[in-house]
């Protein structure tokens, strides 16, 4: 399986580097892909590292602190963001517990394993367990404090990924605003990000907007296909895709809270290749179009209309189809690859006309261990 993964990965690198006039992808470090682990037939971390290394990847993100992965990724050139599970937030509010956690889960692996960030929880602001919200900022502050005590705070940032549902308004982008019920904690969180220069992560899935209202949401607009787009009536900015509009809505929401200059990145986005009967749009053609078009945009180091000169960091969901994920059929069908590293669908590899020996392509990846989209 490992050799097959590497052969496929090298073909993908060659395609990305030479097809469709992209040329060498020097400096493209913003493209990501989630490497999930919710399956009983997935490659071992060592084999996954081989796959990432053959793609010349520079970044990875996992949603836990799996010691097998942290050990496997040691002495590689892959940077890792790790995650504190939601159920640990209450414990890690205590600075002593946070210090113990960092001492156990981070310090033994650093710097051999290039851990560059800690995601504290996942979608806590919109979690059904509303008690978690009170724990979030104290846990973030305690973990950052523990890093500082160990002299690691200048190497490892601390943040948390958020669902787009944290917004009460997202259209048009200039109307972006956070839900009033989370504004108090959100203000504290944004203050922390502002003071530490850490990014605000958002999980954004235009697929859900289309699935819910396929008669109202233009498919080409959500797939990044050519379309007339929309113009924000207040800023006069033109948007030709929904994802960029969603990101700018978050930036406006942050500004409404009195903060400016905080980087906003997309921690998860993707499109399922298969779904249940009521999951409109979940099909191979749409998934291939969405991911291929994002690849094209990322190769240009694009920013959003509101921040055209700031590269938007995007992490696709997902690297593999994961057969043990709960929920509707779509949850198990976001992967670009099957667990044996064969392509689920073609994002353009067939366009490669001839092989070449090497490439300096540099692409970043992320990983999500337990994400269930709602």
Rounded distance between C-alpha atoms, residue 340 and residue 58, angstroms: 23
Q: Which long-range contacts (CB under 8 A, 24 or more apart) does 321-327 make?
A: 321/39, 322/36, 322/37, 322/38, 322/39, 322/42, 323/39, 323/40, 323/41, 324/38, 324/39, 324/40, 325/36, 325/38, 325/39, 325/372, 326/372, 327/372, 327/373
User: Given 79, 268, 279, 313, which residue is catalytic?
Assistant: 268
Spatial separation of the C-alpha atoms in residues 178 and 169, rounded to whole Å: 7
DSSP per-residue codes, 248-265: HHHHHHHHHTT--S--EE
Per annotation, catalytic residue among 46, 79, 123, 331:
123
Task: Judge whether 200 and 193 are in contact, CB under 8 Å.
Answer: yes
Residue 268 falls in the annotated catalytic set? yes
Whether 169 is catalytic = no
- Rounded to whole angstroms, the Cα distance separating 159 from 221 reads 30
- Tokens 């948390």, residue located: 160
Residues noted as catalytic: 123, 268
């Amino acid at each position: 399986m490992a050799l097959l993964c590497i052969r496929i990965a090298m073909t993908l690198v060659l395609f990305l580097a030479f097809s469709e006039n992209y040329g060498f992808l020097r400096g493209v470090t913003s493209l990501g892909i989630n490497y999930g682990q919710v399956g009983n037939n997935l490659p071992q971390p060592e084999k996954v590292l081989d796959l990432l290394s053959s793609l010349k990847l520079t970044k990875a993100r996992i949603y836990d602190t799996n010691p097998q992965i942290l050990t496997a990724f040691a002495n590689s050139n892959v940077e890792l963001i790790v995650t504190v599970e939601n159920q640990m937030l209450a414990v890690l509010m205590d600075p002593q517990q946070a210090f113990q956690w960092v001492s156990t889960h981070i310090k033994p692996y650093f710097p051999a394993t290039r851990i560059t960030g800690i995601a504290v929880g996942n979608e806590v602001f919109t979690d059904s367990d509303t008690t978690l919200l009170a724990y979030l900022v104290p846990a973030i502050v305690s973990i950052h404090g523990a890093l500082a005590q160990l002299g690691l705070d200048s190497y490892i940032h601390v943040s948390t990924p958020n669902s787009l549902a944290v917004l009460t308004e997202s259209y048009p982008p200039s109307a972006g605003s956070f839900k009033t019920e989370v504004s108090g904690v959100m203000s504290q969180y944004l203050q922390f990000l502002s003071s530490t220069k850490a990014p605000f992560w958002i999980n954004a899935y235009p697929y859900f907007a289309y699935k819910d209202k396929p008669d109202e949401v233009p498919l080409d607009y959500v797939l990044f296909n050519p379309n007339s787009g929309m113009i924000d009536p207040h800023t006069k900015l033109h948007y030709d895709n929904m994802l960029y509009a969603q990101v700018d809505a978050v930036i406006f929401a942050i500004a409404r809270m009195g903060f400016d200059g905080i980087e906003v990145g997309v921690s998860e986005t993707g499109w399922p290749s298969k779904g249940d009967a009521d999951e409109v749009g979940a099909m191979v053609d749409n998934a291939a179009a969405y991911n291929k078009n994002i690849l094209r945009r990322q190769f240009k180091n694009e920013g959003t209309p509101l921040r055209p000169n700031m590269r938007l960091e995007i992490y696709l969901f997902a690297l593999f189809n994961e057969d043990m994920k709960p929920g509707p059929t779509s949850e198990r069908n976001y992967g670009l690859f099957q667990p044996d590293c064969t392509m689920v669908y073609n994002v353009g590899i067939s366009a490669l006309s001839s092989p070449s020996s090497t490439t300096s392509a540099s692409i970043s990846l992320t990983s999500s261990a337990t994400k269930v989209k709602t």
